[in-house]
Amino acid sequence: MGKLLGGVRVVDVTTFVTGPLTTKGLSDLGAEVIKIETRGRARGGAVNLSHTDTSKLSITLNFTSPKGLELAHRLVAQSDIVVENHAPGTLNRRGLGYEDLKKIKPDIIMLSSCMQGQTGPYASHAAFGHQLAALTGINQITGWPDREPGWVGPYTDFVAPRYNIIAILAALEYRSQTGKGQYLDMSQCEAGAQFMAPAILDCVVNRQVANRMGNKYASAAPHNAYRCQGEDRWCAIAVFTDEEWQSFCKVIGNPALAKNPRFSTVLARKDNEEELDKLVSEWTINRPAEEVMNSMQAAGVAAGAVETIEDQMDKDPHLKYRNFFRELDRPGGGGKYRAPPGPHFLLSKTPYELRRGPLLGEHNDYVFKDILGLSNEDIAELVNEGVIG
């Protein structure tokens, strides 16, 4: 079976999380992703090696030098896609903007994934995913109503790559039909704002401005994470309908509670939610989280144990069955490690391959000799000049 993106070559000029995760999605599906790195600039932490750069190739090239830029252009001329996530205008100033590259490869597909897009009054603003979570409104609805907005971390860093990959696949399909490439301007902020669509719609239609609700939900009760047996063990439970409520009461061994007028309807349960949460906690506190989850799910009530990373990697039978955490060789030797994450989806007709992340410059010989046709003497001279790391 062939790989889904076999035969597609990608030049990766990315850093930190969003860009590398975008090209990782392509490389794991069979594209030949060549990551351009420099020895003068450290990678974005060990995470890049083990997590965001799996299945890629790495070369060290100083494309700020004229000879390095020429080599980068030659590589683009033999590639299909270029992905970058630097501040707007950065690659334009270095001769690697879309207008430069389409002269070299007219059907090139180039994706730029920056904070707020390539145009507009805020295009030049610097930010990371932490700040973009605030700009998209995610922080505003995260946390408790009597406290400051929650801090969810670089949430958009893990949202934008999915949209980037879809856009690239669409551009590949467009090129297969027309023979034309195109430029993809992807705003990470706008990708994150997509996840606010229900709150935005509520504001547009009902003039309701979403705010922090903690673990509550307007049309469900009980709806919370409840303490279970053991140290820091919890289970999330959500009851939406009266039928689910009746099933819930049977599970906890108190079917009469379903007819109690303080809890018999959703509205009544919402009015007495504090008392209800206390009743639920009194039942869950004496049971393991997994037991609570399984008994609730068996009765048709939505529930999920709050898993730690250790739970996911070592104890979750479902993730283990689906081989979510793949074992990879450690770069440079030293045994194996389990690499997160696994595939976002499993394709029945094409394989999903996960290979370890590359060492810095590990594939210089392959790229500079086999693809670009440089001799050993050429490479030695460029190394001495600081063009190749």
Structure tokens at 363: 């594939």
- Is 157 marked active-site? yes
**Which DSSP category does 178 fall into?**
H
216 class by beta-carbon count within 10 Å (0-12 exposed, 13-18 middle, 19+ buried):
middle
Q: How far apart are CA 327 and CA 195, in angstroms?
A: 32
Is-cis flag, bond preceding 20, omega within 30? no
Contact 202, 210 (CB under 8 A): yes
Cα–Cα separations (whole angstroms), residue 198 to 112, 219, 328: 27, 14, 40
- State CA 167 to chain mean position distance: 15
Select which of 157, 242, 311, 370 is catalytic.
157
Q: How far apart are CA 326 and CA 334, in angstroms?
A: 16
Q: CA quadruple 367, 372, 375, 377: dihedral positive or negative?
A: negative
Give SS3 for 274: helix
Contact 339, 288 (CB under 8 A): no
Closest CA to 215 of 201, 204, 226: 226
Half-sphere exposure of 251 (CA within 13 A, CB side): 25
Cα–Cα separations (whole angstroms), residue 310 to 49, 306, 328: 21, 11, 18
Contact 264, 257 (CB under 8 A): no
Report the catalytic residues.
157
